[in-house]
Chain A
Amino acid sequence: MKDFADIVIVGSGASGAAAAWSLSQNTSLRIVCLEQGSSVSRSEYPTTSVDWELSRYTDFSPLPNIRKNSADYPIDDSDSPISIAQFNGVGGSTILYSAHFPRFHPSDFQVKTLDGVADDWPLSYSELEPFFEENEKIMGVAGLIGDPAYPSYKSLLPPVPLGKMGKIVAKAFNELGWHWWPSYSAINTKKYNAFDDPVRAPCINLGPCNVGCPQSAKGSVDVTYLPLAKSNGVEIYTECRVHEVTLNSNGLADGVFYTDSDGEKHQFKANIVILACSGIGTPRLLLNSKSSFFPDGLLNENSLVGKYLTLHPLAYIEGVFEGDLQSSLGPHGCCLYSHEFYETKSERDFLRGYTMHILRGATPVESAISGYFMRKLTLGKDHHTQFEKYFNHTAGIAIIAEDLPDINNRVELDYNNKDIHGMPGVKIHYKISQNTEKILKHGIKMSKKLFSTAGADIVSSFAPIKNTGWHTAGTVRMGDDPNTSVVNKYGQAHQVKNLFIVDSSVFVTAGAVNPVATAQAVTLFSCNYIINNIDNIVTRS
C-alpha cells in the first residue's frame, strides 16, 4: 500500500534522520520520512563559488524570513530579542550549523536537585551515555579524550587544529588558570564514516562550515544518518509539508495529512507517528492538529504545547591581535571552548552558567562590515591598510548562556501569516531573564579579561546577538507527570501512546552548550524504546 507505513517520521533534520536510521535497523518495517524542504546537493553549496559570502544574505541566510525558500514558513519574532534561525530541507539545520558538538553535562539533567531551579529531567546522563557514544560514532566527532569537565569519552577523531590564534588564546586561559579544551566538533579530521562506505573526506580548513560543507567533512545528517537509513530501506519524501497529525476514533494517531509541492493534499496512514520538526516546527504542527479529542491542538489539553520555549542568548566579544594569525582559516565555529563558568557557584550573582566558545576570525565581507561599524576601519585612502591590520587578526568569543524555562516564553500559531500552503506561521514571544542578563554580563567581563591577557584589543562586546536563535527547545517538554509535561522520558505522548516527539522540543532545560549531540542522543534513546516495545505500541493503536 503506497499510503501506509509502519512508522511515519516528520522531519529529516538532526533528530528525524537519527530516528530514521535507528528504527530502520528493523528492516521489516516500512518507514517513511516526510520532509517539507528539498535536498541540497554539494554542488549547490555557496562555497563552490567565489562570491559565496553573498549567499548568507539571500538563499542561504540562516533566517527563514530573509531566505524565504518555499519550504520556509513565516516566523514573527518581533516580540523576541533573538530571531529564529533554522534551515528547512533534507538534513535540516545541520546543513548550516557549525558542527560544534558538545554533550550536555550530567548536571544539566538535575538543575532542580542541584540548584533549585526549573525542573530535573526524567532521565539522566548515564541513561543517555550509550546513545551519546552511538551518535558520535555515526556523526563522526572530533575532539580530545580526557577533558576534566566531562565524564570520559571513549572514542573521538583527532581534534580540529587550534591554529595560531587558538594557541594564543589557550595560553591566556592557562595564564588565568581557567579550564579550556579543544572543541568537540562533528567534523572529519581524517577520512571517516561510521560504516566505512562511502568514506567522507577530511576537513581541509576552509572555514565557512555554516553555509554547507562541499567536502562533506562536516557531519550534517544528509551525509551521515540519512544515507545509512536509505540503504536500510527508509523512504524520504521531499517537499511534503505535514500540516496535521490525524487520530482514529480511539484517539490514537493514525497518520498525517501533508501537502506536496503541487499543492495537492494527501493522507499518509501509519501505526506510529514520530515528530522531529524542531523546537518551533513541532509545536506548530501539534497546535495546528485540532480534533474533537484535542480542540486546542494535539496534546495541548494542559495548554503546555509551545510553552517554555528556551533559546540560548549569546553575547559576543571580539578581540584584535597585532599579528596576522590567519585566524579566518579553519572551521569557524570549532576551535576551543571553556566551561570554567558552566556551573553554579555561590560567589556569583547568578544561577547556572555559560560556555565560552572561541570563534575563529571573520571572513572578508564580515570583517569589512563589522570592522567598519566597530570603527576599526574607515572609508577612503586608509581603508586598505586598516583592513590589512584587521582581517585575519581577529578572534571572537560567544558566550552561550543557559536561559531557564519560563512559561511566558512561547510559540503560538500566527493565523495572520501563513505558508505557501495556507498553514499558519508562528509567533514567538520571548524575554531574557534577569538571571541570564547577569550571566551574559559576567561572560562579557571574563571574555575581556581573557582577551586582555592574550594581548588583544577588545573592539566589540554586546548581548544578546540578534540573529542566532538556532537552539530552540522545551516547547513539548518531557516529564513523569502528565499534568506538567507533554511526553514521557521516551518522547511518548502521555495522551497518545503511538505518537512520539524526538527532537529538542522535549528538553526540560536548555543547558549552555549547543544542543544537537544531546538532541540526537535523546532521539536514539526514544527509538530504542520504540523498537523494544513496538508490538505493544502498535497493538494499542
Chain B
Amino acid sequence: MIDKVLNTMLPGSEALGLPSATKLDFALYQKENLMQGVTEDFLSELSLIATEKFETDFDNLDDQQRMNVINNCKIKNFRIFSVFIKHCFRFYYSNKQVLSVLNVGSAPPFPQGNILDEDDWEILEPVLERGYTCRTTQN
C-alpha cells in the first residue's frame, strides 16, 4: 500500500527526469528516522477513509480516488497527515537522485561551491543621495 501512496503523492515526471517517490528507498528512510509508527498511522487512516468513501481497500482505487482519499485525510486528521507529508518531502527532497536533477547548485559533499555574480555598487546611489540617516544621540 505504501508504494501506491507514494506514487500517488509524488509520482515521477519523465519530462523533468524526476523519479517517483516509490522508486526511492523509503524503507531505509523510515528505519533511519524511526517513523514506522507515523506511516502505520497514516496508512490506517487512509484505509478507513477508503472504506468509508468507496467501500473498498485503498489498493483497489484508481489514481483519482486515491488522491481524493489522501486529500480527505488532510481534512479529517490533519495531525497524522501533516506529520507524514513532512516526512515524505524530507525523504524525497534529500535524495541524491532527486537533487541531481533539481537546480540546487553544488550539492554535498561539496567539491566546489556556487558562483554569484559580482555586484556593481552604483545600485546604492539612491540610498547615498538621501544622506546620513543615523539618528543623533547625546554622545
Which A354-373 residues have a C-beta within 8 angstroms of B?
364-365, 367-369, 372-373
Determine the chain B residues whose CB is within 8 A of the CB of A343 once the complex forms: 135
A148 with B114, Cβ < 8 A, contacts A52-B108, A379-B10 known: no
Q: Which residue from chain B places its CB closest to the CB of A371 in the assembled complex?
A: B89
Say whether B75 faces chain A, with CB atoms less than 8 Å apart: no
Q: Which residue from chain B places its CB closest to the CB of A120 in the assembled complex?
A: B138
23 contacts between A and B (CB under 8 A): A50-B108, A107-B137, A148-B130, A162-B116, A164-B117, A179-B127, A205-B115, A206-B105, A206-B113, A215-B110, A329-B105, A330-B116, A364-B94, A365-B90, A365-B93, A367-B93, A368-B93, A369-B85, A369-B89, A380-B9, A380-B63, A383-B9, A384-B13
Q: Which residue from chain B places its CB closest to the CB of A167 in the assembled complex?
A: B123
CB pair B93–A163 under 8 Å, yes or no, is: no
Q: Which of B67, B109, B124 contacts A48 (CB 8 A)?
A: B109
Determine the chain A residues whose CB is within 8 A of the CB of B135 once the complex forms: 105-107, 114, 343
* Least Cβ–Cβ distance between B85 and chain A, in angstroms: 7
A329 with B102, Cβ < 8 A, contacts A110-B138, A162-B119, A369-B86 known: no
Determine the chain A residues whose CB is within 8 A of the CB of B92 once the complex forms: 368
CB pair B137–A174 under 8 Å, yes or no, is: no
Q: Closest 7 A-B residue pairs measured CB to CB?
A: A204-B113, A161-B116, A51-B94, A368-B89, A364-B93, A384-B13, A205-B114
Say whether A434 faces chain B, with CB atoms less than 8 Å apart: no
Determine the chain A residues whose CB is within 8 A of the CB of B121 once the complex forms: 144
**Most B Cβ at <10 Å: residue of A214, A339, A379:** A379
A205 with B124, Cβ < 8 A, contacts A105-B135, A148-B134, A365-B93 known: no
A54 with B94, Cβ < 8 A, contacts A106-B134, A171-B123, A329-B116 known: yes
A126 with B116, Cβ < 8 A, contacts A50-B107, A207-B105 known: no
* Least Cβ–Cβ distance between A336 and chain B, in angstroms: 10
Say whether A184 faces chain B, with CB atoms less than 8 Å apart: no
Determine the chain A residues whose CB is within 8 A of the CB of B106 once the complex forms: 204, 206
Determine the chain B residues whose CB is within 8 A of the CB of A49 once the complex forms: 108-109
CB pair A167–B119 under 8 Å, yes or no, is: yes
Give the interface of A toward B (CB within 8 A).
47-54, 57-58, 105-107, 109-110, 113-114, 124-126, 144, 146, 148-151, 159, 161-164, 167, 170-171, 173-174, 177, 179-182, 203-207, 214-215, 324, 326, 328-330, 339, 343, 364-365, 367-369, 372-373, 379-381, 383-385, 388, 391-392
CB pair A365–B94 under 8 Å, yes or no, is: yes
* Least Cβ–Cβ distance between B86 and chain A, in angstroms: 6
Q: Which residue from chain B places its CB closest to the CB of A330 in the assembled complex?
A: B116
Which B74-90 residues have a C-beta within 8 angstroms of A?
82, 85-86, 89-90
Say whether B118 faces chain A, with CB atoms less than 8 Å apart: yes
Say whether B49 faces chain A, with CB atoms less than 8 Å apart: no
Q: Which of B107, B109, B116, B138 contacts A163 (CB 8 A)?
A: B116
Cα distance, A181 to B92, chains bound together (Å): 37
CB pair B114–A330 under 8 Å, yes or no, is: yes
CB pair B13–A50 under 8 Å, yes or no, is: no
Residue total for B at the interface (Cβ-Cβ under 8 A) = 56
Knowing that A48-B108, A110-B138, A383-B10 are A-B contacts, what are 12 other residue pairs whose CB atoms are under 8 Å apart, sorted by A's residue number?
Answer: A47-B108, A50-B108, A52-B94, A52-B108, A106-B135, A114-B137, A161-B119, A174-B126, A179-B130, A180-B127, A215-B113, A364-B93
Say whether B61 faces chain A, with CB atoms less than 8 Å apart: no
A113 with B138, Cβ < 8 A, contacts A205-B116, A207-B105, A364-B102 known: yes
Cα distance, A63 to B138, chains bound together (Å): 40
Q: How many A-B residue pairs have CB under 8 A?
A: 167
Q: Which of A181, A205, A368, A384 contacts B16 (CB 8 A)?
A: A384
Say whether B37 faces chain A, with CB atoms less than 8 Å apart: no
CB pair A151–B134 under 8 Å, yes or no, is: yes
* Least Cβ–Cβ distance between B68 and chain A, in angstroms: 11
Q: Which of A53, A105, A149 contacts B94 (CB 8 A)?
A: A53
Determine the chain A residues whose CB is within 8 A of the CB of B71 once the complex forms: 379
* Least Cβ–Cβ distance between A163 and chain B, in angstroms: 5
Determine the chain B residues whose CB is within 8 A of the CB of A180 once the complex forms: 127
* Least Cβ–Cβ distance between B25 and chain A, in angstroms: 12
Cα distance, A365 to B8, chains bound together (Å): 19
Determine the chain A residues whose CB is within 8 A of the CB of B102 once the complex forms: 364, 391
CB pair A106–B112 under 8 Å, yes or no, is: no
Cα distance, A91 to B30, chains bound together (Å): 32
Q: Which residue from chain A places its CB closest to the CB of B101 in the assembled complex?
A: A384
Contact with A along B90-103 (1 / 0, CB 8 A): 10111110110011
Determine the chain B residues whose CB is within 8 A of the CB of A54 once the complex forms: 33, 90, 94
Determine the chain B residues whose CB is within 8 A of the CB of A149 once the complex forms: 133-134
CB pair B114–A124 under 8 Å, yes or no, is: no
Determine the chain B residues whose CB is within 8 A of the CB of A380 once the complex forms: 8-9, 11, 63, 67
Say whether B18 faces chain A, with CB atoms less than 8 Å apart: yes
Which B11-40 residues have a C-beta within 8 angstroms of A?
11, 13, 16, 18, 33
* Least Cβ–Cβ distance between A338 and chain B, in angstroms: 9
Q: Which of B90, B98, B108, B139 contacts A126 (CB 8 A)?
A: B139
Cα distance, A113 to B114, chains bound together (Å): 47
Cα distance, A173 to B126, chains bound together (Å): 9
Q: Which residue from chain A places its CB closest to the CB of B123 in the assembled complex?
A: A170
Q: Which of B13, B103, B119, B127 contacts A392 (CB 8 A)?
A: B103
Cα distance, A1 to B58, chains bound together (Å): 72
Determine the chain A residues whose CB is within 8 A of the CB of B93 once the complex forms: 53, 364-365, 367-368
Q: Which residue from chain B places its CB closest to the CB of A159 in the assembled complex?
A: B119
Determine the chain B residues whose CB is within 8 A of the CB of A50 once the complex forms: 94-96, 99, 107-109
CB pair A177–B16 under 8 Å, yes or no, is: no
Cα distance, A53 to B95, chains bound together (Å): 10
Q: Which residue from chain A places its CB closest to the CB of B117 in the assembled complex?
A: A161
CB pair B133–A179 under 8 Å, yes or no, is: yes
